[in-house]
Chain A
Amino acid sequence: MSGEAETHGEDALAATGADAAAAHGADAAHSANSGLQIHPMDQFVVHPLFGDGPIHWYTPTNVTLWMAIAVLLIALMMVVGTRGRAIVPSRFQSIAELAYGFVRKMVEDVAGKDALPFFPYIMTLFMFIVFANFLGLVPMSFTTTAHIAVTAMLALAVFLTVTIVGFVKNGTKFLGLFWVSSAPLPLRPILAIIELISYFVRPVSHSIRLGGNMMAGHAVIKVFAGFAGVLGVGAVAPIAAITAIYGLEILVAFIQAYVFTILTCVYLKDALHPSH
């Protein structure tokens, strides 16, 4: 039974890649041969909110919608929730204060006190990623952070910020980051090359880690949901699997936001204190 389902799944995985690209006509095609195919990547398709036209840079799409929802929720929690400015906080204010304290402590502990001017920037990244990740877990939603274009932009912004800050604060001393003075002299050039490569790989790993985690989890949930759809009433095992993976995804949603933020702090620390 499950073997059969897997074969279907694999077929579907092979097929859906192409399906997904045919964004607009896809829905009709799927319903035509439903029950046999699973389209785990369809949830990531970017499509315009109104009409079927081409996607220009300014077109309001589902990306726009879900980013706007994230902005609204962040504003609701951080601004409306703290409206009372209460000494004894309300529930929403407690959450907002918790988030504030969490990120601020992270910045202070990891990057040091002199990184505090960057706290609003890091807080912005954290709040956006954590809200986008959790919004992606709402059924039928769209996960903006599962897109490499989004995570790459975030990572690139961090990379550029850190590099510019490093050179502005330390001048050419920032290059000491690549020159490991504690290593034996003959090794240093080799280490410098390795350090240089690892420095430029940072934004890549930084962005793919977040985007990949988000995409993989959601795709797996979708695959199991496809199994459940095929099995109909007897779909106990796939539903149990979906529940388990959903729980895991909640964990991943937070941990990936945390990892992205703490890595940003680590890179910032390198920029502010480049000596090893």
Chain B
Amino acid sequence: MAVDAHDAAASAPGMPQLDITTFPNQIFWLVVTIVVIYLILSRVALPRIGAVLAERQGTITNDIAAAEDLKRQAAEAEDAYNKALAEARSEAQTIAAEARAEIMAELADATAKADAEIAAKAAESEARIAEIREGALAAVEIVAKDTASELVAALAPTASDDAALAAAVSERLKG
């Protein structure tokens, strides 16, 4: 068997793990390795990663705060806008009411003036109509007298008496 063949060389047991002649070597290099890793991690890597994670957490917190701030500002702006809108609306209503009142006043004024003018013109017209009517009546009397005297002259040329004729015509016209 192979065991016999190697007996001379093998002072150590079957597993290389149990060959204690290599132990000092392994332990020495392990200690070196662990110390180096520990120094790398504790001096450089872990503080750096911790800082990065903390910074990220801080950034996220800040961003959330900033977002909330912006949201609040947006809400404020909306409130202000609504308020301005309401004010503008009420102001517009006031202005409209004022304008309406003014217009109404002007309208009433103008109407009154127009009424007065119309009344004046109507009175004037009435006066003229009365004048014309009187003129017409006078003309009728004259025409009637003329016509009557002509008729009388034509029918009874001897019996002409102008004064009596005029009196008779006037009498008839009044009647």
Interface residues of A (CB under 8 A from B): 14-23, 25, 29, 37, 41-42, 44-46, 55-59, 61, 63-64, 67-68, 70-71, 74-75, 78-79, 82, 85-87, 89, 93, 96-97, 100-101, 119-121, 123-125, 127-128, 144, 146-150, 153-154, 157, 211, 215
Contacts and interface: CB of A to CB of B under 8 A. Distances in A.
Contacts of A63: 22, 25-26, 29-30
A256 B4 CA distance: 37
A85 B51 contact: yes
Contact of A82 (B2, B22, B49): B49
Contacts of B158: none
A21 B22 contact: no
B17 A146 contact: yes
Interface of B: 1-3, 5-7, 9-19, 21-34, 36-38, 40-42, 44-46, 48-53, 55-56, 59
Q: Main secondary structure on chain A at its contact with chain B?
A: helix
Contact of A41 (B16, B33, B34): B16
A18 B37 contact: no
A111 to B, nearest CB: 17
A119 B46 contact: yes
A37 to B, nearest CB: 7
Nearest to A156: B27
A3 B106 CA distance: 124
B15 A20 contact: yes
A75 B25 contact: no
B52 to A, nearest CB: 5
Q: Name the residue among B18, B36, B55, B56 with the largest chain A CB count within 10 angstroms.
A: B36
Given A22-B9, A70-B33, A78-B44, 11 more contacts: A17-B13, A18-B10, A22-B6, A25-B9, A44-B15, A64-B29, A74-B40, A82-B48, A96-B49, A149-B17, A149-B23
Contacts of B29: 61, 63-64, 67
A15 B33 contact: no
A100 B14 contact: no
B25 A46 contact: yes
A124 B38 contact: yes
Contacts of B9: 21-22, 25
A20 B16 contact: yes
A46 B26 CA distance: 9
Nearest to A45: B16
Of the candidates A46, A58, A87, the one having the most CB atoms from chain B within 10 angstroms of its own CB is A46
Contacts of B42: 120, 124
Contacts of A153: 26-27, 30-31
A67 B45 CA distance: 19
Contact of B49 (A87, A100, A146, A154): A100
B25 A87 contact: no
23 contacts: A21-B9, A21-B13, A21-B16, A42-B16, A44-B15, A61-B29, A67-B29, A67-B32, A71-B36, A78-B41, A79-B45, A82-B49, A85-B55, A100-B50, A121-B38, A123-B46, A124-B37, A124-B38, A124-B41, A124-B42, A148-B18, A149-B23, A154-B30
B14 A87 contact: no
B6 A79 contact: no
A150 B49 contact: no
A100 B46 contact: yes
Contact of B7 (A18, A70, A75): A18
